């Protein structure tokens, strides 16, 4: 069964109606949902899934107890040696969700490096991401490095600077572009 990794910016608390419509279509298709346990988009999406009676949901968490599990769904604990509470600690569950799911549905504020990292992880694995960009109020699809470069082009200079510091954005995209170019021969 096809599964969807749903995630987004922790700063976003309210879901746009177009994003909710996409969630409704996933529920109607009975696709498996993998979602994290963070506040922000994770919690807001969990609330919608619970309200709609979604059953095919798995909550991923780093550590033993999820921070949020609104629908009391099954939990997949991701074990990591990273220090609890650190970026690396929480990133472990995101990487596991990118490995598990066939595609991603992201809600991005055009600055969150966590959400952008999820899109990069999916792209690295040859998986598609459907990204709702809040500031554009529209979806964009990321299937490869060129689409990722277009997505990054939406970022403000300040957000791009932060992404350079946090995830070495330019080097990461360059490496992904080179990897994908190598696969096209």
Flag whether pLDDT at 185 surpasses 60.
no
Extended strands (E) in 13-164: 32-35, 57-62, 75-78, 103-108, 128-133, 138-142
**Interval 114-163: pLDDT, tens:** 999 999 999 999 999 999 999 899 999 999 999 999 999 999 999 999 99
| Mean pLDDT score across all residues of the chain | 94
- The confidence score (pLDDT) of residue 1 equals 63
183 pLDDT more than 70: no
Bridge-based pairing of strands 32-35 and 138-142 is unpaired
Q: Note the pTM of the prediction, 2 decimals.
A: 0.94
- Token pair, residue 122, equals 């999916």
Q: Which of 88, 79, 57 lies closest to 70, judged by CA? A: 57
- Please say whether the beta carbons of 62 and 80 come within 8 A: yes
- Sorted by where each starts, the structural domains of the chain and their CATH numbers stand as 3-183 (3.40.50)
Tokens standing for residue 66:
């999820």
For residue 31, pLDDT over 50 is answered with yes
Under DSSP, the state recorded for 173 is H
Query: Residues 39, 41, 45, CA angle at the centre, nearest 5°?
Result: 105
pLDDT at res. 182: 77
As a whole number of angstroms, the longest Cα–Cα distance in the chain is 48
| Exposure of 2 in the CB half-sphere (CA atoms within 13 A) | 13
């Amino acid at each position: 069964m096809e599964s969807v990794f749903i995630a987004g910016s922790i700063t976003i608390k309210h879901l746009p109606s177009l994003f909710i419509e996409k969630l409704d279509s996933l529920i109607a298709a009975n696709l498996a949902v993998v979602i994290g346990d963070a506040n922000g988009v994770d919690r807001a999406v969990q609330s919608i899934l619970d309200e709609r009676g979604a059953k095919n949901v798995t909550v991923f968490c780093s550590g033993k107890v999820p921070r949020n599990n609104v629908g009391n769904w099954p939990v997949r604990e991701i074990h990591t040696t990273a220090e609890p509470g650190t970026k690396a600690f929480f990133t472990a569950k995101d990487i596991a969700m990118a490995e598990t799911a066939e595609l991603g549905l992201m809600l991005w504020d055009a600055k969150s490096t966590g959400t952008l990292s999820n899109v990069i992880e999916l792209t690295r694995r040859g998986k598609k991401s459907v990204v709702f960009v809040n500031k554009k109020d529209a979806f964009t699809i990321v299937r490869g490095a060129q689409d990722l470069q277009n997505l990054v082009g939406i970022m403000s200079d300040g957000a791009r600077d932060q992404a350079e510091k946090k995830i070495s954005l330019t080097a990461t995209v360059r490496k992904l572009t080179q990897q994908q170019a190598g696969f096209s021969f």
